[in-house]
């Protein structure tokens, strides 16, 4: 099969629209995953009775089952017990819940790495718990954790192609629709791969720069 430039050009508007949907889903799911991940990690750190082991069990179940199965449960099974969610909302919820369990582990590791002196300062100042966490502990934890969270977001962007299975018209689904309608798959899926690379490569470079900056900052502090 030879490459058809005119056909490839005709696909570009639909693929770019699908790429926008992919980025939107990724950003919304990332925000959800970060918020839930921080909440889970803090709950584990404080060892909240009942809630902490429940969240730990939830995280183990989520990490031990395929993301595609979780998306199917949210989109196809949850409407049996609650109002149906749109495909996009289901995608954001599924990705957010899934990655929150990984974000939580990254945040928990970051909390474990907070110097003892910072906890002592917070205690000595007799700060209310909310101020202690928001002004001292979490800011201290963010820098070393940021590259890991960034890697998870980059991974989420690429694995988000799975949301096409629940009818989200993302960039992958747009390519599938085009290929199924013309029986030409070379152009749409090649272009999808290039579009993913166009986004993921710059993000990867920025993550490496962030990691280097964090390493330099930690080195300067150690010195």
pLDDT in tens, 12-50: 999 999 999 999 999 999 999 999 999 999 999 889 999
Token pair in block for residue 195: 């579009």
Residue 7 falls inside a structural domain: no
CATH value at residue 94:
1.10.3720.10
Residue 68 falls inside a structural domain: yes
Rounded mean pLDDT, 186-210: 92
Token pair in block for residue 111: 């909390």
> Residue written as tokens 């902490």?
52
In this prediction the pTM is 0.89
d(CA 136, CA 62) in angstroms, rounded, equals 31
Angstrom CA distances, 11 to 17, 140, 186, stand at 10, 47, 12
Lowest mean pLDDT among 8-17, 38-47, 55-64, 95-104: 38-47
Residue 174 falls inside a structural domain: yes
Number of domains in the chain: 1
Contact 21, 168 (CB under 8 A): yes
pLDDT at 80 over 80: yes
Residue 4 falls inside a structural domain: no
d(CA 14, CA 4) in angstroms, rounded, equals 17
Cα four-point dihedral sign 222, 138, 142, 59:
positive
Which residues, including other chains, have CB under 8 Å from residue 153's CB and lie 6 or more apart?
26, 30, 203
pLDDT band at residue 51 under the 50/70/90 scheme: very high
Rounded mean pLDDT, 78-87: 92
126: left (phi over 0), alpha (psi -120 to 50) or beta: left
pLDDT at 84 over 80: yes
Residue 60 has a CB neighbour count (10 Å cut-off) of 11
Residue 5 falls inside a structural domain: no
Residue 2 falls inside a structural domain: no
- Which domain range does residue 80 map to? 12-222
Pseudo-torsion of CA 165, 166, 171, 174, nearest 10°?
80
Rounded mean pLDDT, 126-133: 81
d(CA 101, CA 198) in angstroms, rounded, equals 28
Rounded mean pLDDT, 210-223: 66
pLDDT, residue 138, reads: 81
pLDDT, residue 221, reads: 55
pLDDT digits (tens, 9 = 90+) for 154-189: 999 999 999 999 999 999 999 999 999 999 999 999
pLDDT, residue 114, reads: 81
Token pair in block for residue 25: 């889903």
pLDDT at 11 over 70: yes
């Amino acid at each position: 099969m030879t490459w058809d430039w005119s056909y490839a050009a005709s696909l570009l508007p639909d693929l770019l629209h699908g790429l926008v949907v992919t980025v939107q889903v990724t950003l919304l799911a990332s925000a959800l995953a970060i918020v839930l991940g921080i909440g889970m990690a803090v709950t584990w750190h404080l060892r909240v009775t009942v809630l902490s082991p429940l969240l730990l069990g939830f995280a183990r179940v989520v990490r031990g089952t395929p993301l595609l199965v979780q998306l199917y449960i949210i989109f196809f099974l949850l409407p049996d017990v609650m109002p149906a969610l749109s495909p996009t909302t289901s995608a954001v919820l599924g990705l957010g819940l899934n990655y929150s369990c990984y974000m939580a582990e990254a945040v928990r590791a970051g909390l474990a790495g907070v110097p003892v002196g910072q906890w002592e300062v917070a205690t000595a100042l007799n700060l209310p718990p909310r101020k202690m966490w928001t002004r001292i502990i979490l800011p201290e934890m963010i820098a070393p954790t940021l590259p890991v969270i960034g890697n998870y977001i980059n991974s989420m962007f690429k694995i988000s192609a799975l949301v096409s299975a629940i009818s989200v018209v993302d960039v992958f689904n747009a390519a599938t629709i085009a290929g199924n309608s013309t029986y030409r798959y070379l152009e749409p899926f090649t272009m999808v791969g290039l579009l993913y690379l166009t986004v993921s490569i710059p993000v990867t470079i920025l993550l490496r720069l962030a990691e280097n900056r964090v390493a330099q900052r930690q080195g300067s502090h150690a010195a």
